[in-house]
Amino acid sequence: MSVAAARACIFGVGGLALTSRERDFLRAADPWGFILFSRNVDTPAQVAALVAELRDAVGRKAPVLIDQEGGRVARLRPPHWRGWRPVAEIFDGRDEAVAREALALRYRVIAAELAALGIDVDCMPLLDLPTQGSHDVIGARALGTEPARVAERARVVCDALKAGGVLPVIKHLPGHGRSTVDSHEGLPRVSTDFATLDATDFAAFRPLAGEALGMTAHIVYEAIDAERCATLSPDCISLIRQGIGFDGCLMTDDLSMHALTGPMGARAADAIAAGCDLILHCNGDMPEMEAIAEATPRLAGQALARAQAALDARATPDAFDVDAAYARYLSLTGEDVHA
């Protein structure tokens, strides 16, 4: 399905169903995709109806994203969906092979729950490497602290999601683990030298550089660009493309986060100028979305090709026994049913 007319952005909406104003705006703006948050979630029937409403507004099967990592970051929760402990706990004291089996089962079950609602993109896995003294915004969300092992575990997550018909998003390029500030609240700065970053943070992403979707970090890496965060920095985007080798469709992290300042339209224009393919705006604020739509172009050139390639990567889920897989997962991890 072609997205040649779509605008290079992803929008959230305000509630459990579209307002008439939202519907009219989305029809005119025609964003590439949408993202759901807890404010958009009540029951499975309601979420599925909202997903259908969003797609109907743009007249195509636009991608619908969600942050369903499990643990602290989970938009779908009990009693309608399964609960999960932080992903880092899977690896505590367990044989690596057992832990990876549990990891694969966890994200295959999550994919099944998402696909049942029509959601086809999960903003997972993180490849961020937490370091001593870093902010806990990543913390137990991380898949580890050693680049090669994190990459291997992230590959398990990606494969499990894709088998379930859900596209993964690798994040937060080129690495959020050293941040001492939560980028939701302020602008982090990382002063680590380039050689160290290249051998650790950046190295974790290289084995996953072939994935279809990635997300930037709102972090200043002083060794690359001392003035602009990665999302807004041509030098950092070049590093993501050339140094890490990521050639997939690159979205910003949420432009409404407090790491960024200035008018919303200018943020969007600067991110596109830096080399991001898609603008992500999550809070559903209509004036902000209108400003972003005005400042964001329709997809064209390489951005269009990468966005189309991501959509073409969506696949029909493999046959899968969700209940048996979840039972096996519980036997491996000892988690409570409603963790």
Q: Which H/E stretch holds residue 279?
A: strand 279-281
What is the distance between the alpha carbons of residues 305 and 236, in angstroms, rounded to a whole number?
21
What is the distance between the alpha carbons of residues 198 and 58, in angstroms, rounded to a whole number?
41
What is the distance between the alpha carbons of residues 133 and 4, in angstroms, rounded to a whole number?
45
Of 92, 136, 184, 312, which is the active-site residue?
184
- Mark residue 181 as left, alpha or beta (left: phi above 0; alpha: psi -120 to 50; beta: remaining): beta
Of 253, 254, 270, 277, which is the active-site residue?
253
8 Å CB contact between 145 and 129: yes
Tell me which residue has tokens 């919303």.
264
Q: Which H/E stretch holds residue 35?
A: strand 31-36
Backbone angles phi, psi at 263, to 5 degrees: -60, 145
Q: Other C-beta atoms within 10 Å of 331: how many?
A: 11
42 is catalytic: no
336 is catalytic: no
What is the distance between the alpha carbons of residues 236 and 70, in angstroms, rounded to a whole number?
29
Tell me which residue has tokens 């909406």.
13
Task: Round to the nearest angstrom and report the end-to-end CA distance of the chain.
Answer: 39
Which residues fall within 8 angstroms of residue 232, CB to CB, at 6 or more apart?
A: 260, 267, 270, 271, 274
Which residues fall within 8 angstroms of residue 148, CB to CB, at 6 or more apart?
A: 203, 204, 207
Residues with a known catalytic role: 184, 253
